Structure 1
Amino acid sequence: MIWIICLLLIGGYLLGSIPSAVWIGRWFYRTDVREYGSHNAGATNTLRVLGRRAALPVFVIDAAKGYGAVMLAHLADLQGDGLFFLKIGLTAAAILGHIFPIFAGFKGGKGVATMAGCMLAIAPIPMLMGLATFVIVLAVSHYVSLGSMTGGVLFPFYILLVDGFQPYKLLFGVLVAVVLLITHRKNIKRLREGTENKTFLFIRRPKA
């Protein structure tokens, strides 16, 4: 069983390592998004550098690889808490793969979309509530980082609201919130300084 779990974790990391932003940028736009903008290989930087048409498939692929990584847990003969902890491990493996992708020189993104896919697999309704929060905050503030952090911080509360007090699932929600805050440290600083980049997803960017 141990070797099966190890293989699954490796598989989760390899799925997370699929650098959709890098590959789509290079193959279709002859551009490495990591050389521009925030230098992250994620959907947000792809949106800023290459536009919506490139960012949408990047987001979908990144979320799908997180969801798929967690679903690998069902290949193991585990039930109950054991299955849940394996899903948590696969979540960590997929996000680690996205941040440090073996297929793109270990230089990836922050893993927000990949984490969203993992969240969807583990706590679908709370995750969709978090996604709705993200969209609302983004539409009002035009800050992707603020939307991501707000949705992430509220995620454990949504779990409590929807699923009740389930210690392990609630702990997962808290870990998601903490990871999002840690990976957005620079964004928090820029938000406080008023220098964070705005993203106008639904309307045209106002002229300066």
Structure 2
Amino acid sequence: MNTSALLYIVGSYLIGAIPFGLLLSRGSGIDIRSAGSKNIGATNVARLLGKKTGALTLGCDILKGFLPMWIITLLVQGQSGYEVILGSCGAALVSGHMFSVYLRFKGGKGVATALGIFLYLAPVAVLGCITVFACCVALSGFVSLGSLLGSLSMLLWLALLKAPGWKLWLAAFIVLMIWLKHWQNIGRLFSGTEKSWRKRDEP
């Protein structure tokens, strides 16, 4: 892997690490890292600061997954092994969001950033994932369950669409990381203590 490829990967990590939820909440007097679910993602921001700020956070987190993948594709497409570079950049983007160097290697759960990555790489599969997510949340009231099952379904949709192997491996890595980041939510779901979005309480 050449120097340019390494720079793209490091740059992807640094972009993924930008904590938009924290930046957008500044001036509100609320530290989202110590309130609610203590997560920097859009769900916690929406609960603490309102739907508009939550939606803006969601949009920024999606874009920081989508735009770098689009730009890097323009730069490397056609080069030998470009799929490895793209896959590595995608993994770096999500890793940056989850383990941000700006937040002492803490961060969010990566769902929105992963959504942005695959919105570029596999938009049809993303539609399937969003459908699974929406149905799960509507039926259960748990955003965490929707995120878990929606992300897991990406592997199914990619397989059905006969996506290339590198996209499947990238998806497998990201899904594993998302599930690991949700381990507390998984525990609460099994114990029956996870709080529902319908009740407007913190997960």
Tell me if TM exceeds 0.5: yes
Aligned to 1:33, what secondary structure does the other structure show?
A: coil
In 2: Cα distance, 1:89 partner to 1:7 partner: 11
Aligned to 2:194: 196
Shift of 1:9: 1.2
Aligned residues: 201
Aligned to 2:125: 126
Aligned to 1:115, what secondary structure does the other structure show?
A: helix
Aligned to 2:106, what secondary structure does the other structure show?
A: coil
Aligned to 2:135: 136
1:47 equivalent to 2:46? Answer yes
Aligned to 2:69: 70
- Bigger drift between 65-74 and 140-149 goes to 65-74
1:169-208 matches, cutoff 5 A? 169-200=167-198, 205=200
Q: Please, which runs of 5 or more residues in structure 2 have no aligned partner?
A: none
Aligned to 1:35: 34
- Bigger drift between 181-190 and 165-174 goes to 165-174
Q: Is contact 2:90–2:170 with CA below 8 Å preserved after alignment?
A: no
Q: Please, which runs of 5 or more residues in structure 1 have no aligned partner?
A: none
Percent of matched pairs sharing the same residue: 33
In 1: Cα distance, 2:168 partner to 2:87 partner: 12
User: TM-score normalized by structure 2?
Assistant: 0.89
The structure-2 alpha-carbon separation of the partners of 1:148 and 1:81, relative to structure 1 and needing over 3 Å to count, comes to farther
Shift of 1:128: 1.7
- Deviation per residue, 1:142-196 (Å, 9 max, x gap): 11110011111111111122x2263333333333332222221111110001111
The structure-2 alpha-carbon separation of the partners of 1:138 and 1:102, relative to structure 1 and needing over 3 Å to count, comes to same
User: TM-score normalized by structure 1?
Assistant: 0.87
Q: Is contact 1:22–1:104 with CA below 8 Å preserved after alignment?
A: no
Shift of 1:80: 7.4
In 1: Cα distance, 2:5 partner to 2:147 partner: 31
AA aligned opposite 1:6: L
Aligned to 1:156: 155
